[in-house]
Structure 1
C-alpha cells in the first residue's frame, strides 16, 4: 500500500497568484504530472486540507480539474481556508463519496486493504485555528474501537506545538490532550498525518508519531525565534509518500522538480534510467 500525501494547495480561480507571488494552480499541475510518473503508482492520494485559498465554488471547480488526471482514489480533508459545503458540492460521485456529511463534519473511515484511514475535521468556520470537540473525538474513538487493524488518522491542524510561533497560535487549540489519550488507548494507530505547516515536521504524540507535510506550493519559513513574523519561502515544494510494508509505515519526503540524475555510484557507469 502506497499513499501519496499532498497538503496546503491553496488553489484560487481568480487567476491571481497567492500573496501576489505563488502560482498555486501551476505548482499543483506540476505535482500531478510528477505523481503520474511514479513507478509504482500510489494506491491513493490523501490531501490534508487548505485545498482552496478562499473556499469559493470556483476554486474547488479548478481544483477538481487539476486533480482529474489522477486515476487513483482521492481522499480530501478541509483545512482552515476551506468551506465544507462548497467542498462537498464540488466533489460528488463515486470517487468522493467519503465527503458525505458526518454530523456536519467532513469525517470518514476508509478501508485501504491492510490499513484504515480515519479522517478528522478540525475546522472552525472563519477561523485560522483548529478544534476537536467532544463529538468529533467520540466519532474517532468509536471508529478505532470497532476495528483493530492498523490505522492512519488524518487531520489538518497538527496536535503538537512546532516552535513556529505564529503557526502554533493558530494550531489545534482544543482537543489535543483528549486526542492524545484516545490514541494511547488504541495502539493500532500507526501515524497521525497532518498539514497546515507547509513543512515536514515530526513529533511523538499519543504513543505514536505525528507529522506534517510540505506543500506543493509555498513553504512556511523555518523561524523558531519568539515573535518571528509570519513569512513564507519559495523553498523547493514537495509532498510525502507513505509506504506500508511488512507491518510498518515508512515515510519519504519528496522534493518536486526536475533535478540532475540519477547517477550510478561509479565514475565509469552510464547514467541510470
Structure 2
C-alpha cells in the first residue's frame, strides 16, 4: 500500500502570497500534479494540517478547487492555522470527520493499513496537547484492531526538535501519548506536520516522522538564541510504502522538475 503525505500547504485566497513571499496555491497545485503522475499511483493521500493560512472561508473555497484536481482518495486533519468550524463546513462531504468536538477518527477502508487521526490542536493557539480524553480515545481505538498495521496522524509533533522557535509550538503531554502508543505494537508510524521539515526519531516504541511543507521550509537552526527564519527550499512530500513482511518504508520526494533520468543507478 502506498500512502502519500502532504502537509502545511497554507492555501491563501487567489492572488495572495503566503507571508507575502511564497505562491502557496501554485505550489500545492504542483504537489497534486506530482502525486497524480506517480507510477504506481498512491492508494491514499494524507493531508496533515494547516490546509489554509488564516482559517478564512475564501481560503477553504480555493483549497477545495485545488483538491478537485487530486485523483486519489484523501484524508484530512486540521492544524493550528485551520478554523475547526470553517474546516468542518468545507469538508462536510468527508463523512469520516466527526460532527463536533476534536476531529479524531479511524479510517480503514482504503487498504491494509489503518489510519488513525488524533486531533491535538487547540483552537486559537499554535501549540497542541494530547489531553486525557484524546489519549483514552486513541487507546480504545487502537485496541479495536491490534493486528492491523496502523499509522497515527496528528499535526503538532510531540517532541522537542532543538529549534527554539519551533519548540514553542510543539504538542504537550508527549509522555501521555508515548505511554498509549507503546501498548500497541501495530503502530508502524506516527506522522505529523507543523514544522515544515522532515524529521525522524523513535517515539513510544515506534518511529515518528514529520512531513515537509509544500510551501516553505522553516530554517533548521539549533542555537538556543536563533531567531525565526524560513527558506524557499524545494517543496516536498512523503511517500509511505507498506508491504507484508517488510513493514513501512518512508521516502522523501522533492516536488519539481530536475535533470535526468540518466541511464545509471
1:157: how far off? 0.6
| Structure 1 gap segments, 5+ residues each | 267-273
Partner residue in 1 for 2:60: 60
Partner residue in 1 for 2:157: 158
Structure 1 stretches of 4+ moved >2 Å:
none
Measured in 2, the distance between the counterparts of 1:14 and 1:64 equals 13
Measured in 2, the distance between the counterparts of 1:2 and 1:195 equals 18
Answering whether residue 7 of structure 2 is matched by residue 10 of structure 1, we say no
Secondary structure of the corresponding residue to residue 46 of structure 1: strand
Measured in 1, the distance between the counterparts of 2:189 and 2:264 equals 34
Measured in 2, the distance between the counterparts of 1:259 and 1:80 equals 33
Measured in 1, the distance between the counterparts of 2:56 and 2:103 equals 17
**Is 1:201–1:212's contact at 8 Å kept on the other side of the alignment?**
yes
Secondary structure of the corresponding residue to residue 76 of structure 1: strand
Q: What aligned pairs does 1:78-97 form with structure 2 within 5 A after superposition?
A: 78-93=78-93, 96-97=94-95
Measured in 1, the distance between the counterparts of 2:209 and 2:116 equals 15
Measured in 1, the distance between the counterparts of 2:176 and 2:259 equals 47
1:186: how far off? 0.8
Larger CA Rg, structure 1 vs 2: 1
1:150: how far off? 1.2
Partner residue in 2 for 1:192: 190
Describe the superposition over 1:167-224 as per-residue Cα deviations: whole angstroms up to 9, x where unpaired.
1111012x21110001111111000000011111001100000010011110000111
1:88: how far off? 1.2
| 164, 177, 180: which one aligns with 2:178 | 180
| 98, 120, 123: which one aligns with 1:122 | 120
| Structure 2 gap segments, 5+ residues each | none
Secondary structure of the corresponding residue to residue 17 of structure 1: coil
Partner residue in 2 for 1:261: 260
Measured in 2, the distance between the counterparts of 1:170 and 1:34 equals 30
Q: What aligned pairs does 1:195-206 form with structure 2 within 5 A after superposition?
A: 195-206=193-204
Q: CA RMSD in A?
A: 1.2
1:100: how far off? 2.5
1:14: how far off? 5.3
Measured in 2, the distance between the counterparts of 1:208 and 1:18 equals 34
Secondary structure of the corresponding residue to residue 96 of structure 2: helix
Measured in 1, the distance between the counterparts of 2:20 and 2:235 equals 17
**Is 2:189–2:208's contact at 8 Å kept on the other side of the alignment?**
yes
